[in-house]
Structure 1
Amino acid sequence: MGVYKKFYHEVKDNFDLIRYLTVFDLKTNVSRTYLGFLWWILDPLLYMSIFYILVHVILGRGGPDYPIILFTALIPLKWTTSCLVDGTSSISGKGRIIKQIYVPKIVFIIVRLLVNTVKFSISSVVLVLFLYFYGVEVGITYLYFPLIILVQAFVIFPFMILFAHLGIYIKDVKNMMQYIARILMYISPVLFTLDTVPKHLVDYFYINPLTTFIESYRNILIHGDAPLWTPMFLIVVFSVILLNVSLHLLFKYENQYAKVM
C-alpha cells in the first residue's frame, strides 16, 4: 500500500500544479487554431463522418441505426487511444523541464489524462445531442454515464503510467502506440456490433477491456439497459493490480529518467 500512499500525497501536494498545467494545455490547444474551441465540437463530428461514409455509404454495411451505433463506440475509442498515445510521451516529452527542476513524474501523466478527458466530455455532450436529434429517447440509464467514464478513466490510468515508463527506455514505444491504437479499433466492436460476430468468438472480444465499455455505453445510451457490471468489476480488479505495478515502476525509477533522457 506504500505506493498508493505516495501517490495520494504527490497528487495532494501538487494539486495546484496539476490544475494549472491542465488549464494551460487546454488554453494552448485553443489558441493554436483559428476555430479554437469549436474544433473540440467539430472533431468528433468529422471523425464519425469519415467512418460513416466509408463503412455505411461506400461499403454499404450497417443498418438504419448505424450512425448511433458507430458514434457511441468511436468517441470512447478516440478518448482511450488519445490517452494512451499522449501518455507514452507525457514524461519523455518533458525532458528539458525534468533536467532543470524536480517535478513528480506522475503529474505529467495525470495532466494528459485530464486534458483528454475534458475533450472527451465535450465530445460526450455532442454525442448525447446527436442521439437526441436522431430520435433516441433520453432515459434514466443516462445517469450511469458519468460513472462509466470514471471507471474507464481509472482503467486507462495504469496503462498510461506503464507506457510512460516504457517510453523513457524504449524510444520505439511512441511509434508503436500509433499501430496499437489502430489495432484497438479492429479488435473492439466499433464498426460492428457483437450480435454480428459468430457466437464462439464473442467471448474473445471481452479479453479487450474496451469491449466492455463500448457495450456498456451502447446499453445505457441506446438500449436503456444497465452497464455490464460483472465484466467491469473484473476489469477494475485487474486495473488495481496493474496500477500497483505501474506506480511501483514509476516511483522506483523516476529519479533516473533525467539521466536516461
Structure 2
Amino acid sequence: MKEHRVRHHGLDVSANVSILFPELDYLDRFAAARDAGFDAVESWWPFPVGVPPRAGLDAVLAALDGAGLRLTGLNFWAGDMPAGQRGMAIHAERHDELRANIELVGEVAERTGCRHFNLLYGQLAPGQSAEQAAEVAAGVFREATAAVSAFGGTVLLEPLARGLNGDYPITTVAEALAVLDLMDTEGVSLLFDTFHLGHNGEDLVAAATAHVDRIGHVQVADDPGRGEPGSGTLPLDECLDALREAGYSGRVGAEYKPTTPDTRDSFGWLA
C-alpha cells in the first residue's frame, strides 16, 4: 500500500466514505476512494443498529481490505441518523445498546488498526439540563475509551452545527472543552470539524492555534452548504496552515457533500 498519497497543506487526507461518493453504493465507495488516490478512509457507523448482523460488518471490512485502504476514523453508533438522532451518550436508557456497539467497535479497532472514534453526544431530552447530560455521558465515554485504549485509540467529542442537529448542547470549542474537563477522562479529545464550527461562527484560525493540543482529529468542509473547500466562505487554507504550524500532524478527513454529480470532480481543492 502506498502511504500518504493525498496531502493538503502538508497534512495527510482521508476520504469519508459516508458522505463522499454519494452517487455510488456504500460498499463501492472504498474502491472509488482508492482509485481517486486516497490511501485511507473514515466512516460513520454504517448501520442503523449498534450491533448489525455479522455478515453486514464483514462485508464492510472486506470492501476496506479489498481496496487496500487503511481505516483512520469510525463513528460509534449514534442512533437513527437519517431520522435526525445525533448520539446516545447522554441518554441512559439507550446505554445498553451503546455498550454493545462499543464492544463491537473495539473489535473493529483491533482488526483494522483504526485509532480515532467519534462518539456523538446526543440531543437533550425534554427537561434534561446540560449539566445532567454531561454526568450521564461521562461514564459511557470512559467505557468507550477503555474499549479502544488498549489499541492506542482515541475517543472524540464533536461540536455540531446549530439549527441542523436538534437540541445538541455542544456547538463550540469552549463547550466541548468544558465537557471534556468535567469528564476528566484520559483518551478523549476534540474533533475539530471546520463546517460545524465555522457554521456556528467560531474563529477557526484562532481556535486551531489556541487549542491544537486538545484536538484529536480534524474534518474539513466549507460553509455555507457543507461542500468541498472553496465552495463556501470559510478560511480553510488559513485554518489548515494554522493547525500545521501549531503542531498538528494528524489526518484531515474530507467530510463534505460534493457540489458536483461526480465526486471526483470535487477534488480540485486538493490540486
Structures share fold, TM-score greater than 0.5: no
Higher helix share: 1
> Taking structure 1 as the reference length, what is the TM-score of the superposition?
0.24
Higher strand share: 2
> Taking structure 2 as the reference length, what is the TM-score of the superposition?
0.23
Greater Rg over alpha carbons, structure:
1
